[in-house]
Structure 1
Amino acid sequence: MTLKRGNGILKGSNGFANRSEKIDNQVNTRFAIASGCKIYTAVAICMLVENGKLSFDSKLKDRLDTAFPYFDNNITIHHLLTHTSGVYDYFNEELMSDFELLWKSHPMYHVRSPKDFLPMFQYEKMQASINSHFEYNNTGYILLGLIIEHVAKCDFAAFVEENIFRKAGMMDSGYFEADRLPERTALGYIEDPKGSWKTNIYSLPAKGTPDGGAYTTVEDRSKFWEALMGNQLLSKEMTQMLLKPRVAVAAEDDIYYGYGGYMELNADKEVVKYIQMGYDPGANFREVYYPDTGTVIIVCSNEEEGAYELLKEIESIL
């Protein structure tokens, strides 16, 4: 956990990075942050737009050589970024709760790049009409990663590591492979109904991809926000495009989604805070950034629960 407000930084850690060896989590431990790294994919897309290689109106069918016979031909980058494309989600969290079921026919040790997901959705029909409403969609971000690779002519993970992590000074972050984890990396743990624990090595793809799975430290994540809000990754205008409210997540509240994640708005439709989250078996991540004060609260966990509760407790104290 880390809390940064102005020049003040509060850090803390607890629990085990490795339960078998009784190795404690530290403030510099690397954690998997699941969908908390979708914002990296969005920033990478914005970089390509800024360089004139894409536009937010670019159509999926025009940016990939891969055929998707049942996808709407009018799907754009904008739709994919805002979860309004309606494409079939290979892991629909409203319909499926056990992530491990995905790997029965597609072994997780073979999934190490965006293209490895294609058999899981390429020939599926649309699950909703294009641009109808916000519906969280992992497939959309896999498609964005494929577009990045095709346009930049570069491996997705390598592009993000070079153009985002290195530029922001995030030297402890990366898309590490589960069977080649570097030092100071927390193993993810899943608790079974009897109260015992197992690692998540058979529950997730072998390597993180555009919809989730990068590793980072709380300090590196703080550096990311400093670089992003300091316009070191994108121009001021493009950073504003990334963080602008785009679609309402639910009609009854003030939560919106932009190109780079969730945000809470006040009655005047101004952003109160930006919200990032990630959930995987053995990984739990929550983060908020308050633009008015520059306060960022980051909570990483290598268990399935706890990050949200700790973040809310910190917010209530503040």
Structure 2
Amino acid sequence: MNKQISWNGLAKIQQELQFSGSIHVRKSGKAIMSESFGYANRSEKIINEPHTRFSIASGSKIFTSIAICKLVEEGKISFDTKIINCLDIDFPYFDKEITIHHLLTHISGVPDYFDEDEMDDFEVLWETLPMYRVRCAKDFLPMFQNGKMQAKVGSPFSYNNSGYIILGLIIEQISGMDFTDYIEKNIFQTIGMTDSGYFSMDKLPESVSIGYIENPDHTYKANIYSLPAKGGPDGGAYVTATDMGIFWEALMNGKLLSEEITRILLTPQVNVVDDIFYGYGGYMESNEQGVVKYIQMGYDPGVNYRSVHYPNQDLTIIVCSNKEEGAYEILKEVESLTVNK
């Protein structure tokens, strides 16, 4: 821990929020903070530790994006490739002009199986399709394959999970590998994210936190009936906060993609609101001088994840939580202590 930084304010907020999770702060290749709080398993009173693995929900969409970029780098597809030309799955009502670029940037207009503007209860999804049957990308298809377009191709940014399921299916068809196997081999194992992976909720390995949902009476229940049995292209990887620090360092140092493809991945593509943009690698804050910070976030029942990387300061902050609230507040406090310091 950097002794020049006083973490007293962070400890106070952690207590106020009863934050449960891990925090990892990395600057110029060195960890300056790595702390954990709360319980990975509340009933057994097993505490969260720096090596505890957390689900990061949509925070793992960037892995899907990087996999697509790898296939582009290999010349097997381009960002302008239309899905009808690289995927042997019929979407009867989808526009034939949808490209990989549209899917990556959430402007494809395809029907989202979980429209966050219309729905606020993720558990409703599994009333007709039991979550224990959803273990790979194609298992999501019944929820949107025969749906009609919800917007025109190229319409303004509208966050879309189905688009990333389609990207995962493209990765599988072109690579000949299961999506999760591809990510684990070509990203996690390649850069030393040794504790990360896509795990089935009914076959979890050691050192995995259980996600907790707070009930109205302030008791808690596990999220095992709220999420797909196994994560996939739109989210659900398990990582340690430390592994995500390794990930950002590897990405920015060219260990995952070529310099040119990395630049494309990290370039703003579509405006979301004000100075927030979305690129192939996710959200970013940008001004006239360029990108100020890259922003990752993930929310699921019992899951709360936030991460930022400041390229000009070589500063990365990762906050993983196995409760639904608190990661953002912790992140903002850490930013106040470290950014421009």
Is the shorter-chain TM-score for this pair beyond 0.5, marking a shared fold? Answer: yes
Query: Which amino acid in 2 is paired with 1:169?
Result: G
Residues in 1 aligned to 2:50 and 2:207: alpha-carbon distance in whole angstroms: 10
Identity across the alignment (%) = 62
Matches within 5 A, 1:245-264: 245-250=268-273, 253-264=274-285
Residues in 1 aligned to 2:116 and 2:217: alpha-carbon distance in whole angstroms: 24
Greater shift, 281-290 or 3-12, is seen at 3-12
Matches within 5 A, 1:194-273: 194-250=217-273, 253-266=274-287, 268-273=288-293
2:88 maps to 1:68: no
2:211 maps to 1:188: yes
Matches within 5 A, 1:22-171: 22-171=45-194
SS state at 1:48 partner: helix
Contact between 2:39 and 2:48, CA under 8 Å: does it hold in 1? yes
Residues in 2 aligned to 1:35 and 1:180: alpha-carbon distance in whole angstroms: 21
Flag the 1:22–1:212 CA change in 2: closer, same or farther, 3 A.
Answer: same
2:24 maps to 1:2: yes
SS state at 2:36 partner: coil
Matches within 5 A, 1:171-186: 171-186=194-209
Residues in 2 aligned to 1:65 and 1:46: alpha-carbon distance in whole angstroms: 20
Residues in 1 aligned to 2:78 and 2:228: alpha-carbon distance in whole angstroms: 30
Query: Which amino acid in 1 is paired with 2:25?
Result: L
Q: 2:298 aligns with which of 271, 278, 295?
A: 278
Shift, 1:269, TM fit:
5.0
Q: Which residue of 1 aligns with 2:7?
A: none
Residues in 1 aligned to 2:82 and 2:26: alpha-carbon distance in whole angstroms: 39
CA displacement 1:242-290 (0-9 Å, x = unmatched): 000000002xx20000001000012x15100000000000000000000
CA displacement 1:4-55 (0-9 Å, x = unmatched): 1123421111110000000110011000000000000000000000001110
SS state at 1:3 partner: strand
2:317 maps to 1:297: yes
Shift, 1:125, TM fit:
0.3
Residues in 2 aligned to 1:168 and 1:226: alpha-carbon distance in whole angstroms: 10
Contact between 2:269 and 2:280, CA under 8 Å: does it hold in 1? yes
Residues in 2 aligned to 1:184 and 1:224: alpha-carbon distance in whole angstroms: 19
Residues in 1 aligned to 2:32 and 2:85: alpha-carbon distance in whole angstroms: 46
TM-score relative to the length of structure 1? 0.98
TM-score relative to the length of structure 2? 0.92
Residues in 2 aligned to 1:229 and 1:9: alpha-carbon distance in whole angstroms: 18
Query: Which amino acid in 2 is paired with 1:213?
Result: G
Residues in 2 aligned to 1:40 and 1:152: alpha-carbon distance in whole angstroms: 15
SS state at 1:223 partner: helix
Flag the 1:83–1:243 CA change in 2: closer, same or farther, 3 A.
Answer: same
Shift, 1:109, TM fit:
0.3
2:37 maps to 1:14: yes
Shift, 1:317, TM fit:
2.0
Structure 1 outlier segments of 4+, above 4 Å? none
Shift, 1:293, TM fit:
1.3
Unaligned 5+ residue runs, structure 1? none
Unaligned 5+ residue runs, structure 2? 1-22
Shift, 1:305, TM fit:
0.6
Contact between 2:306 and 2:327, CA under 8 Å: does it hold in 1? yes
SS state at 2:37 partner: coil
Residues in 1 aligned to 2:149 and 2:253: alpha-carbon distance in whole angstroms: 39
Query: Which amino acid in 2 is paired with 1:262?
Result: Y
Residues in 2 aligned to 1:228 and 1:122: alpha-carbon distance in whole angstroms: 33
CA RMSD of aligned residues (A): 0.7
